[in-house]
Amino acid sequence: MNKDNNVLTIKTLKITPIKNLVLGLNHMILETNILFDKDGIHILTTDITKVITIHLLLPSDRFEIYDCKKEKILIAIQLPIFQKILQNAHNKDVLHLYIENSHYQDGFINYLSLKLDNSELGSCVTHKIKLIDNEDNTFNVPDIKYPYFINMSSNDFCKIIKNSKSFSDVIDILIVGNEIRFKLKSEQIISEFHKNELTGSISSENLSKIIHGTFELKHLDKIIKCSNLCQNVELYLDNESPLCIKYNVADLGHLTIYLLPFNNNLYNF
């Protein structure tokens, strides 16, 4: 591929993490703006309920090729179409994303091109995805200093949420001393899960402070669709603050998701 013909050229060998990323995002949002600049690929958006905020950063130096000829390129894409294309990709495929010069005019972009190369199979598939009108919404990355975070198995977190949603609509997440607790209560059952090895600046004052938030399981059930991104997930929590859930996208970057507490619509980013 000749980069001179494109305003944007990206190449990665890590097709599986990209497939898992788009699949996870597709459960939370159906369309999104994507910003490309010299630093990398950025997504900063909310779901339709404004309860979930999504921040994705894939730094440019994590790709085999990353060439962005403009200061910034902003596109808007329908994720279900992107996901359908990627779900048929072979794990050994090489992914190329590019925007041709002919499809870029004064910042307006018609198509995002996607090519899947596989030298072992001797195959090459090219798609041109019709882009939608973007809304240049301005968001800021939430600037919250959390006193604690816990690193736990993505599968464990996923199982807790899946099991809980069968019995309740909400779940309480607490930090007490040096452990995190997941609690739910319904007419049929009262359940509680504990995990130690809390990470953070644990002072005597912090040990006596109880951190608590209540979150809707219907939103957490969407978020855990990102569990295939990495083995471990980081959870950040503080009183009267969103729950912060951070996944690594292999070694390509990270996806950070903020979930507002239940019955708290006053907290705005």
Residue 19 has pLDDT above 60, yes or no: yes
pLDDT at site 68: 98
pLDDT in tens, 137-150: 666 777 888 887 88
Domain 3-41+61-130 adopts which CATH fold? DNA Polymerase III; Chain A, domain 2 (3.10.150)
Rounded Cα distance, 140 and 118, in Å: 39
- Single-letter amino acid, residue 68: C
Is the predicted pLDDT of residue 248 greater than 70, yes or no?
yes
- The shares of helix, strand and coil residues in the chain, as percent rounded to the nearest 5, are 20, 45, 35
Whether 215 contacts 166, CB under 8 Å: no
Mean pLDDT, to the nearest integer, of 171-197? 84
Tell me the two tokens of residue 77: 């894409």
Rounded Cα gap, residues 27 and 44, in angstroms: 16
Model confidence, pTM: 0.91
Confidence grade of residue 166 (pLDDT, cut at 50, 70, 90): confident
**What is the percent of the chain where pLDDT is above 70?**
91
Nearest one of 108, 133, 141 to 32, comparing CA atoms:
133
Q: What is the spatial distance between Cα 176 and Cα 161, in angstroms, rounded to a whole number?
A: 20
Spell out the CATH class of 148-259.
alpha beta
Per-residue pLDDT band for 136 (boundaries 50, 70, 90) equals low
First-to-final CA distance of the chain:
41
| CA–CA dist 70, 227 (Å, integer) | 34
Instruction: Convert the pLDDT of each residue in 37-64 to its tens digit.
Output: 999 999 999 999 999 999 999 999 999 9
Beta strands across the sheet bearing 94-100: 65-68, 6-12, 94-100, 111-118, 123-130
Instruction: Identify which has the larger pLDDT, 245 or 201.
Output: 245
Query: So where are the chain's domains?
Result: 3-41+61-130, 148-259
Whether residue 202 is predicted with pLDDT greater than 80 in this model: the reply is no
